[in-house]
Amino acid sequence: EAKRAGSGAIRMFNPEMQLSINRRLHLEAALRRAIDERQLELYLQPQVDHASKVTGGELLLRWQDDEFGQVPPNEFIPVAESSGLIVPLGNWVIEQACALLQQWSTDSQLRELQVAINISPRQFRQPSFVDYVASCLQRYAVLPGRLELEITENMLIENVDVTIERMSKLSQLGVRFSLDDFGTGYASLAYLKRLPIYQLKIDQSFVGDVLTDVNDAVIVETIVGLGENLGLEVVAEGVETAAQEHALRELGCRKFQGFLYGRPQPINYWAERFTTSLHVAADET
């Protein structure tokens, strides 16, 4: 509201806004410390195929702070993004993913699994991004095809040529790109044929109401059809119930992620279970 009033207007802040600004500044300082002291952790959430076999998983950041308690990524990632802390933090995530893939490559059960990580726009905009990923893959002797980079549609809008160049370089190495939260962004569909994308990740907002909202079911079906026609893998995220999975299967979906198969847990929690069986029991967590 203050913005809309124009630059000449006096900005009015209510106490609540002041609090959130303070919280943000404090969070930023605490996050900087946490990154320095390696207090963030990566959790893993499995993904399964049509036969309920685990294909790999997504790494998700977790931060337990002494002062703030458990801070959700939806709160600290934007702080990391606006402060620039996302660059060292994101590099750490890339390195951890490569180290994990190297570790898994020595185990016959785990060596085929994919690891997906989330890439923020500011991180991707770093001129050194491609070289950093490539050097990590090399340093840990990782098969690039095991690493999936999740990006969002909105970061495809600006600097399209630079984006194409960067994505092409990495995809030529074998790295796979996934479009996270697909269907919620602002990019035109034209980029789908210009960019080397491997996977579409149906946003969980469409999955949550797929049983009750016919519009969401139609959207899911459309995304699945789009994927089939363009030769892209499609995965549904946020699957919580067997009934949702059933509906998604009817709509043609063949890959799934969600609490139904398992919550994000410390990496070793899942690695131990994957080593025993790549079939996760739906009622296990």
Q: Contacts with Mg ion: how many residues (CB under 5 A)? A: 4
Minimum distance from residue 121 beta carbon to ligand C2E (Å): 9
Given the rule CB under 6 A, which of 4-12, 117-125, 127-135, 228-236 is the region that contacts ligand C2E? Answer: 117-125
Q: Which residues in 180-219 contact ligand C2E (CB under 6 A)?
A: 180-181, 204
Question: What DSSP string describes the chain?
Answer: -TTTT-TTSPP---HHHHHHHHHHHHHHHHHHHHHHTT-EEEEEEEEE-TTSBEEEEEEEEEEEETTTEEE-HHHHHHHHHHHSTHHHHHHHHHHHHHHHHHHHTTSTTTTT-EEEEE--HHHHHSTTHHHHHHHHHHHTT--GGGEEEEEEGGGGSS-HHHHHHHHHHHHHHT-EEEEEEETSS---TTHHHHS---EEEE-HHHHHTTTT-HHHHHHHHHHHHHHHHHT-EEEEE---SHHHHHHHHHTT---EESTTT---EEHHHHHHHHHH-SB--TT--
Minimum distance from residue 74 beta carbon to Mg ion (Å): 8
Given the rule CB under 6 A, which of 111-119, 162-170, 190-198, 222-230 is the region that contacts ligand C2E? Answer: 111-119
Q: Looking at beta carbons only, is 71 or 232 nearer to ligand C2E?
A: 71
Q: Which residues in 80-99 contact ligand C2E (CB under 6 A)?
A: 90, 93
Site string for ligand C2E, 43-72 (x = CB under 6 A): --x--------------xx----------x
- Those residues whose C-beta lies under 8 Å from the C-beta of residue 213, and which sit 6 or more positions away, are none
Minimum distance from residue 71 beta carbon to ligand C2E (Å): 10
Residue 233 in the binding site for ligand C2E (CB under 6 A): no
Residue 245 in the binding site for Mg ion (CB under 5 A): no
**Could you tell which of ligand C2E, Mg ion, none binds residue 148, using a CB distance below 5 to 8 A set by kind?**
none
Site string for Mg ion, 164-183 (x = CB under 5 A): ----------------xx--
Name the nearest CA neighbour of 46 among 36, 35, 34, 59: 59
Residue 235 in the binding site for ligand C2E (CB under 6 A): no
Minimum distance from residue 58 beta carbon to ligand C2E (Å): 6
Residue 145 in the binding site for ligand C2E (CB under 6 A): no
Residues in contact with ligand C2E by the rule CB under 6 A: 45, 60-61, 72-74, 77, 90, 93, 117-120, 150, 180-181, 204, 237-240, 258-259, 264
